[in-house]
A and B are shown apart, each in its own frame.
Chain A
Amino acid sequence: MNIHTIATHLNKLEEGTGTGLDFDCTPIDGEIDVLQVEIIGREEIPIFVSISDNQILCIAYLWGEDEVKSDLKLDMMESMLEMNIPMPLSSFAKVADKYVVFGALSINSSLADIELEIATLSDNSLEVINEMDNYLN
């Protein structure tokens, strides 16, 4: 599995989509291959897909440390921990100063699994921002 296979699959889906979403994929050059997946209508929150030796990682950036109301940070983190298990397929994490939701898949996952993971991650990220907006500036 590589990001180009995923990109070709997602870009070709159109009517054949199992998630009802339209995807637009752009590979990003770097030491590690990264695929930027934009979902039509949700371009502001893209999903980034990277593949390492043993897993496929899908990440959506939620908000930066600077967007968090500092007096509510602890409450926000508790809410995140509490939401971590009920949230399907995705988990919360922090990358440098950005809070993210991510999902990790086996390197042997099918393209349909990857499509579902990306769609679910996108749904989750919108839901999370919506539900947690009282913690944000």
Chain B
Amino acid sequence: MSIFKKIITAVRGGASEAGEAIIDANSTRIFEQEIRDSEKHITIAKRDLTEVVAKQMQAARELAQTQASIKEHEGYAMQALNQGNEALAIEVAEKISELEITAADQQQSNESFLKSSDRLKELIKKSERQLTEYKRQLTMVKTTESVQKATSAITDNFSASNSKLLNAKDSLDRIKKKQAMFDDKLKAAEQLESETPDSSLQSKLQEAGIGAQKTNAQSVLDRLKNK
């Protein structure tokens, strides 16, 4: 069963209870061991690959040398034939034949090294994919467990402090009310601030006798006298 399915089954099956492990500790250890093994395999395969590639390069170099030597001897054979020296030409031809056998062997080992390096490269890729997969699955297990443990700590904290998570709508209402009160306070403060300079201007105008003046007994009497 895949880890994903195991997690779903365990969570649905009630493993979300505090402290209960989602995957038993032994399985987690096996996973960790598999990850270590895969890493080891990859390291060995990479070392082997370096060796094989080095051998392949050497074989290719030797093959090139042999092929150059064949060409060189073919030239000699042609020269000997042109001189009518058949005996020498045969001797050179025998040498060419030996070189061709060597070249064939070298070609074969070169191809075999190339095949080995391709196989190792494929193996490394496969192991790396496997390793990524193991790591991803282990992360899933560990995250699920840590969330469960964290949830259990949070729940314990709420029960210990005798408080509980409020109903969502009530929580939002309370937050909105606090926000409205904060906004009101801010508005009131702004209003007060905007009124202050205006009222101080009014008093200055009054003092200077400009604008509407306060009525008092004297002003009333003066008005009556003027009638």
The interface of chain A, by Cβ under 8 A from chain B, is 28-32, 34, 36, 41-42, 44-45, 48, 50, 52-55, 57, 59, 61-64, 67, 95-96, 98, 126, 129-130, 133, 136-137
Contacts and interface: CB of A to CB of B under 8 A. Distances in A.
A57 B166 CA distance: 22
B171 interface: yes
Interface in B139-178: 139, 142-143, 146-147, 149-154, 156-157, 165-172, 174-175, 178
Contact of B154 (A28, A45, A137): A28
A43 B26 CA distance: 41
Interface in B155-213: 156-157, 165-172, 174-175, 178-179, 182
B206 to A, nearest CB: 41
B16 interface: yes
Question: For the side of the interface on B, what is the size category?
Answer: 20 to 34
A45 B171 contact: yes
A96 to B, nearest CB: 5
Contacts of B157: 28, 30, 34, 36
B169 A136 contact: yes
A95 B142 contact: no
Contact of B147 (A41, A54, A63, A95): A95
Given A32-B146, A133-B169, A41 B153 contact: no
Given A36-B154, A50-B150, A57-B147, 4 more contacts: A34-B150, A45-B172, A59-B150, A126-B172
Given A48-B154, A54-B139, A129 B169 contact: yes
A52 B143 CA distance: 7
Contacts of B182: 41
Contacts of A52: 142-143, 146
A117 to B, nearest CB: 16
Contacts of B166: 44
Contacts of A96: 16, 151
A121 to B, nearest CB: 14
Nearest to A102: B147
Given A41-B179, A63-B167, A130 B172 contact: yes
Given A44-B174, A136-B169, A31 B153 contact: yes
A54 B16 CA distance: 21
28 contacts: A28-B157, A29-B153, A30-B156, A32-B149, A34-B157, A41-B175, A41-B178, A44-B170, A44-B171, A44-B174, A45-B172, A45-B175, A50-B147, A52-B143, A52-B146, A54-B142, A54-B143, A57-B146, A59-B147, A67-B167, A95-B16, A95-B147, A126-B175, A129-B169, A129-B172, A133-B169, A136-B168, A137-B169
